[in-house]
Amino acid sequence: MVANGVWFNSFIEGNVFVKRRGIMDHNALLFVEPMHLQKHNKLFQFFNFMIDIPGFQDVISKAWSLECNGPCYVRFFSRLKETKRLLRQLNKDHGNVSSNVSNARANLEEVQLYMINNTDITLLNLEKDLINKLNATLVEEESFFLQKSRVNWMELGDGNNSFFHHQCKANWNRNKVFSLEDNLGNMVHGQLLCANIAINYFENLLGPDITHSSFDLNNVECKVITEAQATSLCATVTDAIIYATLKKMKKNKAPGLMALMSNSYWPHGALQGLIFVLL
């Protein structure tokens, strides 16, 4: 299917399916318009630009003053969870970074058009404020995409161009299944219907559930951990261990809450502004 850039940008979430040839001398193309998807809660990710959002310090202080009991790691996790909830609301109130850039640019253009026939000093000051606001939103957007992409495309000089943003939007649908063809050759659309078709297909392919018989484990040879390993597994989690784990975080990552609680993935940088506030 061939279309221009304007058409693709208008139907980013659309899909094209190639039908069977049949008696025709060519394959028919079926275009399915974007459908309403079931909303799922997105994983929380902390981005560095959030530190500069007004009210950030108040949110952190409120979350970290949460009264909770238990060991240090339980208190740490509970307050980190409260931090996530409050930061999610703060980010929602702040608005989408790309929309903020578009709105700031539109407001600046509107004032500049009005200034063509009016040179009032008030408008000059307003223009200056809008320029500063636009620059600030551009810095936020650049930081957001740089951290989200986790690649060095900006360092290589590719620039913050529209092609990159279009690719980000197009990748949104890359691993999603919107439509499936059933055994009768009918196209089925919708998440739940597609899920049912996939489940029924694999149930018929794999057959019914097989009941496994129990077996004696006494004669099975298993490796036994050493005494030092057992002591390490049973060691008490301390504030020093939590702080040392936070210090191992890699820079310019956007970890979620559970990633921070995993000892195998404690990246440093995305929460570097929180370390001294939280601990």
CA-based end-to-end distance of the chain: 56
Q: Name residues of the chain where pLDDT drops below 50.
A: 157, 258-279
Domain ranges of the chain: 1-34, 35-170+183-207+238-278
Which residues, 6 or more positions from 183, have their beta carbon under 8 angstroms from its beta carbon? none
pLDDT at position 188 is: 82
CA angle, 230 as apex, 224 and 231 as ends, to 5°?
155
The pLDDT tens digits of the residues spanning 97-146 come to 888 999 999 999 988 888 888 777 888 888 899 999 999 999 888 888 87
pLDDT at position 39 is: 59
pLDDT at position 155 is: 53
pLDDT at position 106 is: 92
CA angle, 47 as apex, 46 and 53 as ends, to 5°?
105
Whole-model pTM: value is 0.53
pLDDT at position 38 is: 57
In Å, the largest CA–CA distance within the chain is 93
Residue (of 173, 166, 168) closest to 6 by Cα position: 166
Taking the CA atoms of 228, 233, 238 and 240 in sequence, report the sign of the dihedral they define: positive
What gap in Å lies between CA 160 and CA 153, rounded to an integer?
9
pLDDT at position 30 is: 79
